């Protein structure tokens, strides 16, 4: 009898959770056009990035699809152009697992674009195991955070020049499970994949809060977003058990990529958040973040560690932020 009651209890919890998720779903209701605006979307060839890029292209924006795989990116670009009629959608190569690629991408953008209105840091990976990048950084940490750190700071001058520009960092509610230990943050095999992912998303949230502080008064806003638990190709490198668990969570979440992209789009276009900065959003509403965002020493230590790891210290004179 006890076993039967437990099963019923679990089923009730799943049903209530699924119902609450369905009720909480929302969409970006802003109709703001993006004509004359320049937007960068990383990881835009599929999933959330693709849907975000397509929506912003429909609004008339010049969308730069920053992707690693040229073949998939060009196919995605052509599809977006065909569906939106916007020929101002372009592909530029960007591999977040290579800091040299990040620098080349920024050089390309800053030499060809006169403005940058929105930077959407969407690209991410999960389940990369113990792989190191060519830069000697754990791949999952570099793609999900350290690459974003360097990319964003190198683009700050163009964002500031544009004025009233926005940075949107795609994070995850899993950032609550993140732990930062500077002795092990870049070591192979110390964390399980799930916790490496959580750590990278925690770093992203802490980076968002600190960058917002440094850019206060510059006209550049920066916010983080949890898009929901959605089945995309981010788990392609994960083990079978992790994919099964993630698939189960996706079923409970009942979100597709179009729905998942809504909060990202909202932060990129909505007038009501034009001056909001340093916040974390879920379902187009501001939500609460981990208490670690109040730990000034942790945030400062992470910033300094990140600068050193990606070689940003050498470029400080080129990119100035308020201190």
CA atoms within 13 Å, Cβ hemisphere of 78: 6
pTM metric for this prediction: 0.85
117 neighbors 155 (Cβ within 8 angstroms): no
Domain boundaries, the chain: 30-312
In this prediction, residue 240 carries a pLDDT of 52
Q: Give catalytic residue positions.
A: 197
Q: Report the alpha-carbon distance of residue 272 to residue 78 in Å, rounded.
A: 32
Q: Report the alpha-carbon distance of residue 14 to residue 21 in Å, rounded.
A: 11
Q: pLDDT of the chain along its 323 residues, tens only?
A: 444 554 454 444 444 444 445 445 678 899 999 999 999 999 999 999 999 999 999 999 999 999 999 999 999 999 999 999 999 999 999 999 999 999 999 999 999 999 999 999 999 987 666 789 999 999 999 999 999 999 999 999 999 999 999 999 999 888 888 899 898 888 765 555 668 888 999 999 999 999 999 999 999 999 999 987 654 454 444 445 454 444 444 444 446 788 889 999 999 999 999 999 999 999 999 999 999 999 999 999 999 999 999 998 665 654 555 54
Domain 30-312 has CATH 3.40.630.30: no
In this prediction, residue 2 carries a pLDDT of 43
In this prediction, residue 256 carries a pLDDT of 78
If you write DSSP's letter for every residue of 24-66 in order, what string do you get?
Answer: H----------TT-EEEEETTTSHHHHHHHHHHHHTT-EEEEE
């Amino acid at each position: 009898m006890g076993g039967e009651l437990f099963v019923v209890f679990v089923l009730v919890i799943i049903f209530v959770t699924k119902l609450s998720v369905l009720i909480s779903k929302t969409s970006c209701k802003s109709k703001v056009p993006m004509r004359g605006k320049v937007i960068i979307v990383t990881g835009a060839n599929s999933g959330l990035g693709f849907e975000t890029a397509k929506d912003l292209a429909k609004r008339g924006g010049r969308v730069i699809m920053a992707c690693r795989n040229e073949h998939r990116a060009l196919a995605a670009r052509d599809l977006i152009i065909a569906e939106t009629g916007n020929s101002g959608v372009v592909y530029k190569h960007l591999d977040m697992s290579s800091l040299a690629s990040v620098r080349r991408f920024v050089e390309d953008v800053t030499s060809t674009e006169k403005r940058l209105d929105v930077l959407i840091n969407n690209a991410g990976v999960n389940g990369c195991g113990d792989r190191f990048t060519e830069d000697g950084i754990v791949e999952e940490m570099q793609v999900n955070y350290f690459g974003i750190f360097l990319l964003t700071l190198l683009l700050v001058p163009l964002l500031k020049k544009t004025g009233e520009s926005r940075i949107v960092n795609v994070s995850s509610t899993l950032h609550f499970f993140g732990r930062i230990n500077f002795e092990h943050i870049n070591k192979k095999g110390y964390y399980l994949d799930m916790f490496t992912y959580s750590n990278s998303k925690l770093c992203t949230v802490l980076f968002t809060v600190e960058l917002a502080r440094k850019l206060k008064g510059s006209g550049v806003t920066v916010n983080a977003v949890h898009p929901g638990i959605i089945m995309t190709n981010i788990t392609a490198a994960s083990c079978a058990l992790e994919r099964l668990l993630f698939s189960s969570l996706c079923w409970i979440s009942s979100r597709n990529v179009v729905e998942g992209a809504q909060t990202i789009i909202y932060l990129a276009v909505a007038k009501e958040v034009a001056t909001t900065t340093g916040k974390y959003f879920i379902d187009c509403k501001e939500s609460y973040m981990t208490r670690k965002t109040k730990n000034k020493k942790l945030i400062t230590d992470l910033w300094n560690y990140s600068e050193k790891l990606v070689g940003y210290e050498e470029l400080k004179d080129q990119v100035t932020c308020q201190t």
